[in-house]
């Protein structure tokens, strides 16, 4: 029963814990680094040397802005968890300085030099930021009697370190309010490192968020959380070394820390643009910005300081219309409209600061920045749809669509996190879905079966390898990867094929301007050499988040673990009573489908399981064992235990470390 309860829980942020695990790499191969990544080829060195010749690398404006207002650096502040393990250390990125090596795209190298600038900064009078201690920024606004904290980072540990830096250099002051700008974990997960639930309640701290925040924050990705978590290991490069041939940053920031995640429940919400609140004597004007960068989001303006917080609707990078770890596609047209609304709502802004990257100053500079970001997403949307209506497929549009120089030459529009190619495909998917209308693509063979036939038609594995080496020597790495993928799926034990495919992925990663593309290619190369991870995953760091997650979301996750064929012909109703929550839920299995509803009165059931919410969560996190289940006063079964066991055995254990680059 313990195992079944554990595996029925898939939490949206499981991807972060999954991304943190991995085996130790073997020793280096000749000519490779310790992880096995090969040296950049002459073709890669040439491609990177010639990349972005129309970009003004001599423009120092971003570096001046990123350094402006520095109060104290953070490079000497490695952050440790409760067990003493270092979970964040800016010094690991100290190698990123000077000119880009041949193994890193020079535009991405520039971005990561900027992201390296970490510490406590003064943005404007009464507004401060801690940057570089996390993927995101923590912003702090001085009120009349204390601090208003905006977006308290990803983990309690990094948020606590940020607050310690603030107290050391700006003095101690009470927390009067916490603002969550949107529902992504890097903007709320560290809340309990800023203030505990108990103190927030006792001090009547105002917790302000966009309407629907708690639901989105605790449910995002829950249905497909395991798959998203596995894919996130690639897009965040979590098994990669931080080096010139490995992970250099995430484009949107340096990377994601892995510690303890929590949340505070909002005491009030923002539900319309133009809504005003006075918080600890500071006047705020809010913009409600749902369905833009996040399902629920807000921005705000401080009229007295003429400062605009853009949250994540804008940043110094092209963002994702589709997130490569897997997520629902975002509406490019609506997102563009939200940025335009911000321009109209806050035309007097003279200071900009956001959830990522560095601030900007000057009304005209800020307006130009917002206009270019607005037009970036609208251009991608409009021109993709134009090509769609000409009958082009997603891959064809990716090859055809180019940004105009007025947008492409702006560093803030470069694809460091999102990319033009995968955002084009996102727009196509938003309107037309996965099918490109070609009948040959309607029901293709799966990769392993197709691979065997491709290899046979190309003359066998030796012939494929010989030809692939010729294309590799010509620098045609995209084609090498495409061809050898067939061979690896046809013959997953073919070490020569995997080795050459890994070398091609190395070169593709070195040339990528997008940090996520780089990490994906290099993570693929790593796993071709070392295999998929095999360490087990723990949910203990999620306890504070799980406590705030409605149990209905956990039952939704349970439904997608049901083995439908195995459940055929089974009918059972299980009632679960959470005695400490005062809630009763019904799980009903019929037609190989699991239905869930919350009960408001008596109902018939084959089995009734009475359990405390606390024990349920301990079981879910693997912190309680069979002995505690049997003897605990917090659990009781009414009805047939055999029926309950038969019911639980219908649910599968999810494969958390499934193969990606091999079948």
The token pair at 482 is: 């495409």
At 417, list the tokens.
């996190």
Helices (H), 351-402: 363-388, 394-400
pLDDT band at 8 (very low <50, low <70, confident <90, very high): very low
State pLDDT tens for residues 430-477: 999 999 999 999 999 999 999 999 999 999 999 999 999 999 999 999
Architecture of 440-530 per CATH? Alpha Horseshoe (1.25)
CATH 3.60.15.30 fits 24-35+60-377, yes or no: yes
Q: Position of tokens 């974990």?
A: 185
How many whole angstroms separate alpha carbon 151 and alpha carbon 209?
A: 10
At residue 284, φ and ψ (nearest 5 deg) are -115, 140
Going from the C-alpha of 494 to that of each of 463, 497, 528, the distances in angstroms are 13, 5, 11
Measured CA to CA, the distance from residue 537 to residue 524 in angstroms comes to: 21
Q: Which of 11-15, 364-368, 635-639 holds the top average pLDDT?
A: 364-368
Query: What pLDDT is recorded for position 1?
Result: 42
Q: Give ∠ CA 417-421-423 in degrees, rounded to 5.
A: 65
pLDDT single digits (tens) 417-439: 999 999 999 999 999 999 999 99
Domain 2-11+538-648 homologous superfamily, CATH = SCP2 sterol-binding domain (3.30.1050.10)
DSSP-assigned letter for residue 658: -
CA distances from 120 to 65, 128, 361, 592 (A): 14, 7, 18, 55
Contacts of 585 (CB under 8 A, 6+ apart): 551, 552, 555, 575, 576, 578, 596, 597, 598, 599
Residue-wise burial string across 604-629, b where 16 or more C-beta atoms lie within 10 A, e elsewhere: ebbbbbebbbebbbbbbbbebeeeeb
Residue 141, burial from CB neighbour count under 10 angstroms (0-12, 13-18, 19+) = buried
Share of the chain above pLDDT 90, in %: 77
Query: Hey, how many other C-beta atoms are within 10 angstroms of the C-beta on 481?
Result: 24
CA dist 199 and 211 (Å) reads 24
Highest mean pLDDT among 228-237, 264-273, 526-535: 264-273
Band of pLDDT at residue 595, cut at 50, 70 and 90: very high
Task: Provide the CB-side half-sphere exposure for 42 (13 A, CA).
Answer: 2
Mean of pLDDT values over 611-630: 70
Q: How confident is the model at residue 548 (pLDDT cuts 50, 70, 90)?
A: confident
Q: What is the domain partition of the chain in residue ranges?
A: 2-11+538-648, 24-35+60-377, 440-530
Q: Which residues pair with 605 in a beta bridge?
A: none
Q: What CA dihedral angle connects 593, 599, 601 and 604, to 10 degrees?
A: 20
Closest CA to 51 of 364, 393, 506, 510: 510
Minimal CA–CA distance to 174: which of 154, 204, 152, 216?
A: 204
């Amino acid at each position: 029963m313990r195992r079944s309860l554990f595996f029925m829980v898939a939490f949206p942020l499981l991807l972060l814990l999954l991304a943190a695990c991995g085996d130790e790499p073997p020793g280096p191969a000749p000519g490779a680094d310790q992880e096995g990544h090969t040296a950049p080829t002459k073709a890669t060195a040439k491609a990177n040397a010639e990349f972005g010749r129309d970009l003004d690398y001599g423009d120092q404006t971003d570096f001046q802005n990123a350094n402006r207002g520095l109060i104290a650096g953070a490079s000497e502040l490695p952050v440790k968890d409760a067990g003493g393990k270092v979970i964040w250390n800016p010094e690991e990125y100290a190698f990123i300085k000077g000119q880009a090596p041949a193994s890193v795209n020079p535009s991405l190298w520039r971005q990561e030099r900027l992201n390296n600038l970490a510490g406590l900064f003064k943005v404007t009078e009464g507004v401060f930021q801690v940057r570089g201690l996390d993927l995101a920024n923590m912003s702090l606004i001085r009120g009349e009697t204390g601090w208003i904290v905006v977006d308290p980072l990803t983990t309690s540990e990094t948020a606590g370190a940020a607050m310690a830096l603030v107290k050391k250099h700006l003095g101690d002051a009470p927390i009067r309010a916490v603002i969550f700008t949107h529902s992504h974990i890097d903007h709320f997960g560290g809340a309990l490192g800023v203030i505990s639930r108990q103190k927030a309640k006792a001090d009547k701290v105002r917790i302000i968020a966009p309407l629907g925040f708690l639901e989105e924050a605790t449910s995002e990705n829950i249905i497909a959380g395991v798959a998203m978590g596995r894919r996130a290991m690639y897009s965040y490069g979590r098994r990669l070394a931080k080096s010139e041939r490995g992970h250099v940053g995430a484009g949107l920031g340096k990377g994601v820390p892995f510690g303890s995640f929590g949340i505070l429940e909002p005491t009030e919400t923002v539900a319309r643009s133009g809504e005003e609140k006075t918080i600890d004597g500071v006047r705020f004007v809010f913009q409600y910005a749902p369905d833009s960068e996040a399902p629920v989001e807000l921005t705000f303006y401080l009229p007295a300081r003429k400062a605009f917080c853009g949250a994540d609707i804008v940043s110094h990078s092209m963002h994702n219309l589709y997130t490569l770890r897997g997520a629902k596609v975002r509406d490019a047209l609506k997102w563009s409209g939200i940025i335009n609304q911000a321009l109209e709502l806050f035309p007097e802004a003279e200071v900009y600061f956001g959830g990522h990257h560095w601030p900007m100053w000057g009304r005209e500079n800020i307006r130009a920045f917002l206009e270019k970001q607005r037009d970036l997403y609208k251009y991608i949307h409009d021109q993709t749809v134009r090509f769609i209506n000409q009958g082009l497929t997603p891959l064809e549009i990716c090859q055809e669509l180019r940004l105009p120089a007025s947008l492409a030459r702006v560093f803030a529009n470069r694809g460091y996190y999102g990319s033009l190619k995968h955002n084009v495909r996102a727009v196509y998917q938003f309107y037309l879905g996965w099918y490109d209308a070609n009948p040959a693509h309607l029901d293709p063979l799966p990769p392993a079966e197709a691979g065997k036939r491709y290899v046979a038609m190309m003359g066998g594995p030796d012939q494929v390898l010989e030809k692939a080496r010729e294309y590799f020597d010509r620098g045609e790495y995209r084609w090498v990867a495409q061809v050898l993928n067939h061979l690896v799926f046809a013959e997953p034990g073919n070490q020569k094929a995997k080795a050459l495919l890994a070398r091609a992925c190395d070169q593709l990663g070195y040339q990528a301007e997008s940090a996520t593309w780089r990490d994906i290619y290099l993570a693929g190369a790593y796993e071709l050499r070392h295999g998929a991870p095999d360490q087990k995953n723990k949910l203990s760091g999620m306890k504070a988040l799980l406590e705030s997650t409605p149990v209905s979301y956990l039952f939704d996750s349970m439904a997608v673990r049901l083995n439908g064929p195995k459940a055929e012909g089974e009918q059972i109703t299980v009632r679960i009573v959470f005695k400490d929550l005062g809630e009763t839920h019904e799980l009903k299995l019929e037609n190989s489908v699991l239905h869930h509803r919350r009960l408001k009165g008596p109902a018939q059931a084959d089995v009734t399981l009475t359990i405390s919410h606390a024990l349920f969560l301990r079981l879910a996190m693997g912190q309680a064992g069979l002995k505690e289940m049997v003897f605990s006063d917090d659990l009781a079964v009414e009805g047939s235990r055999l029926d309950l066991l038969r019911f639980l055995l219908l649910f599968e254990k999810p494969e958390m470390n499934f193969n990606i680059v091999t079948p």
